[in-house]
Structure 1
Amino acid sequence: MENLIKNNSIVLLIIIGLPGLFAWLLTSVNRQTKANLVNHYGINSQVYCGFLGIIIHELSHLVLALIFRHGIQSVRLLKRPHLHPENETADDLALGYVNHT
């Protein structure tokens, strides 16, 4: 019984722990990279360096919304983020969007 618990713990650590650690590591590297880009080259540098990835990302949202028959309200595959929008709502930092219902 003790051996079974030990083996299951090791398997859970491998199945959940390693992917979780890898996801955390990638997230922290991603956040630091974006912060460095914005600090050195301005907020629009994210668009200039990653436009192809942003377009592919938004297209994936669009395809899934179409597959699941969501009502598409508006799509913008690429847009420049605005730190100070015209109205007084929250900052508009989106790089693209698919609005659906």
Structure 2
Amino acid sequence: MMRTILNVLWQLGLWLIVIPGILGIILVAISRANKRLVAMQNGLWGMILLGGIGVILHELSHLILALLFGHHIDRVALLHIPDRNDPSDNCLGYVNHSFNDHNLYQRCGNFFIGIAPVLGCTLAMTLLTRTLAPQVYNYCLQLFLPTMAPLPVSAGSKWQLIVWLILMVNIAVGGFDLSSADLQNSAHGVTALLLILLGLAAILAWLSNPLMVGQWLSAHLIIAYWALILAIVFNLILWLFLHLIVRR
């Protein structure tokens, strides 16, 4: 029985943590490079103009997950303009929250609250592409998931594509980069998350078998992995474009 539990735990860890974790690390690294290139070229106001919407989405993702996991919200600034006269004031937004350390659910929530911008911004990019650039959405869908049925599309306007591009650049520049505080917050929830996964593995091992668990997770999470890959590809294209501009 213990071996079955460990096999199920491995399937849960692989599909819920390892694969999305690797994709998330790649995505955050490229986004951080984009943010650095924009700051080098355009300074603070360039960051706000080219990444302000992304910053708002970043903080909004933290806020929504903090509320979902029952945390108390202390202070919020979805977009903050740093004081030039205060060298320590260098953040563009923040969500300060507190939680009950004896509540397993709230402790586990720290993990998801810390990485919330990766989830929220990926979802926003996917929905924006589906809504404003359905041809691009269908092309990417067929490229990575050829078995998925494409969306029925009509010819979109040029303005739709321009709005989509502006929003995508904003999210790519200002949305995905996780601060050291975000990562520390996630680290506080790792132990609680592992305890919950262990309990879930024990239940699933009794109800099913590891192979079926893995097949079910892969079938239902593949679209989420596709969305992360879509975000990585767009961030990578933007990085190449920004790199060419900075080198000129």
Taking structure 2 as the reference length, what is the TM-score of the superposition?
0.29
Equivalent position of 1:10 in the other structure: none
Taking structure 1 as the reference length, what is the TM-score of the superposition?
0.62
Equivalent position of 1:96 in the other structure: 93
Deviations 1:3-25 (A, max 9, x none): xxxxxxxxxxxx858x73x5555
- The count of aligned residue pairs is 83
Q: Give unmatched runs, 5+ long, in structure 1.
A: 1-14
Amino acid in structure 1 at the alignment position of 2:91? A
Equivalent position of 2:57 in the other structure: 56
Equivalent position of 1:79 in the other structure: 80
Residue 96 of structure 1: CA displacement?
A: 0.7
Residue 73 of structure 1: CA displacement?
A: 0.7
Deviations 1:35-76 (A, max 9, x none): 221122112311111111111111111111111111111110
Equivalent position of 1:12 in the other structure: none
- Higher RCO by CA contacts (8 Å cutoff, separation 6 or greater): 2
Equivalent position of 1:33 in the other structure: 34
Residue 26 of structure 1: CA displacement?
A: 3.7
Structure 1 residue ranges (4+ consecutive) displaced by more than 4 angstroms after TM superposition: 22-25
Residue 95 of structure 1: CA displacement?
A: 1.3
CA distance in 2, matches of 1:83, 1:56: 24
Match of 1:53, SS state, is helix
Computed over aligned residues only, the root mean square deviation of the Cα atoms, in angstroms, reads 2.8
Amino acid in structure 1 at the alignment position of 2:93? G
Task: Give the structure with the higher percent strand.
Answer: 1
Amino acid in structure 1 at the alignment position of 2:55? I
CA distance in 1, matches of 2:74, 2:66: 11
Residues 35 and 84 of structure 1, relative CA distance in 2, 3 Å threshold: farther
